[in-house]
Chains A and B, each alone.
Chain A
Amino acid sequence: MAEEVELNPKQKKEIAKWFLLNSPAGEIQYVAKDLRLVLNDNEVYDEAVSESFPIYNKSHMICLQMPAGAGDVLVTSFGELGENEYLDPRTAQVAIVDHVKQVCTEVRPATDEELSSAYVEEFRSALDVEILKYAGEAYPKGVCSVYCTKGKEVEGPGFNFELVVVISACRLSPQNFCNGSWRSVWTIEFQDEAQVLEVKGKLQVGAHYFEEGNVQLDAKHECGDSTLFQSPDDSAISISNILRHHETEYLASLEDLRRKLPVTRTLFPWHNTSQFSLTREITKELGIGK
């Protein structure tokens, strides 16, 4: 038998990071708690969590409460200003975040350089209003935000810019052994010359059920559409209609996928004569006396 070799700290850290990054929605803290015991090495543990949590938080687009009733902030790569700083465009505030504890520790107002120009902001805030309406209706536990990811300094017509809509909803019910999440990321390219808006969506649904078992769903979908470049209010309405249409269609297709597994109606005839000879064969082969 091969000699057991203990893994070096770097290898242990990589394995720990894999588990952390692959935790289902809402479960990374449970996984981290177990890993701390398994690793039994605080240095490796600390490195693994400090490297994994920021990636996990941004990928899952977690929602944190800002202190003193300042509202909610989504932790996303689109709003990332610094390693622990995340912009909330709606309230023009920047949240300082502790990734491992998954809390917002401080809030400060955003500087002018961190916000979009007045011209782009007209489009961004109009879209934000429509998306808030849509997400409020469609997602009981949804949180949304609209970011400007390209061209935030554009002062007027003649240049392109890009907005990103993020919708994040999760239903965490660990007492019922069940957690799930819905994430939508919609990228809208405002193309000035062609006077069109190119819309690209990435939807991701996850569910984890672990009572008397362990079942995970991971479903992804990409789609696209386009519409005319109109005024901020009209563009916002067109875009939110596109989102609503595609997301509703995707939801319907997910339910269609519920195909019944095949059912065989005939039971195996355990009692027939071949069974007796099978027993005889096995008894003979195993050399068991009767």
Chain B
Amino acid sequence: GSKTAQGRRGHLEEGAWDAIHVIEVAPEEEGIARYCLTSTVMLSLTTDHESSGTFSLSGSIRRQMNMDLSVSEGHLCNMGKMIEEMEGKLRNSLDQVYFGKTKEMVCTLRPPSEVIMRLPDSTGL
């Protein structure tokens, strides 16, 4: 799945979400199949706003998920639900990683002024 967007309002200039899902299906016991899903999401965000300059955040994340499911409803149903669940998890990971980790890094390089007052004298960090 792939989606690109151009922002008109707000800060986003260009955004792209590309997801690749690879599923391996193998029969297990009677009426049960094993599904092995490997998903990669490539995300790219750029902004170009007068007050904040250029901002470019991009990269990829990969996860795996295995499930044994009944085939009574058919493969499509099982695979669809797995992919949906996986994409939801990836979206949350991306939020934590893309924004969370990079924000953490920026705060470590240069703590916001309120934090500076409270930093202990010892070299903890």
Contact = CB atoms under 8 A, between A and B. Distances in A.
Interface in A246-285: 247-248, 250-261, 263, 267-268, 270-271, 275-276, 278-279, 282
Interface residues of B, number: 46
A259 B12 contact: yes
A54 interface: no
B89 interface: no
Interface stretch (B18-26, B29-37, B105-113): B105-113
Given A213-B61, A213-B62, A275-B76, 18 more contacts: A138-B111, A139-B109, A140-B109, A140-B119, A178-B101, A180-B108, A207-B106, A212-B62, A213-B59, A216-B59, A217-B102, A248-B112, A248-B113, A254-B106, A263-B91, A267-B84, A275-B77, A278-B76
Contact of A215 (B51, B74, B102): B102
A169 B109 contact: yes
Interface in A113-169: 137-142, 169
Contacts of A186: none
Interface in A75-130: none
Q: Is the interface of A mostly helix, strand, loop or mixed?
A: mixed
B53 interface: yes
A229 interface: no
Interface stretch (A13-21, A38-46, A218-226): A218-226
Contacts of B4: none
Nearest to B100: A258
A253 B51 contact: yes
Interface of B: 10-12, 47, 51-63, 73-77, 80-81, 84, 91, 93-95, 97-99, 101-103, 105-106, 108-113, 116, 119, 125
A247 B106 CA distance: 12
Contacts of B75: 279
A214 interface: yes
B21 to A, nearest CB: 14
Contacts of A182: 106, 109-110
Which 5 pairs between the two chains have the least Cβ-Cβ distance?
A221-B53, A215-B59, A213-B61, A180-B105, A207-B105
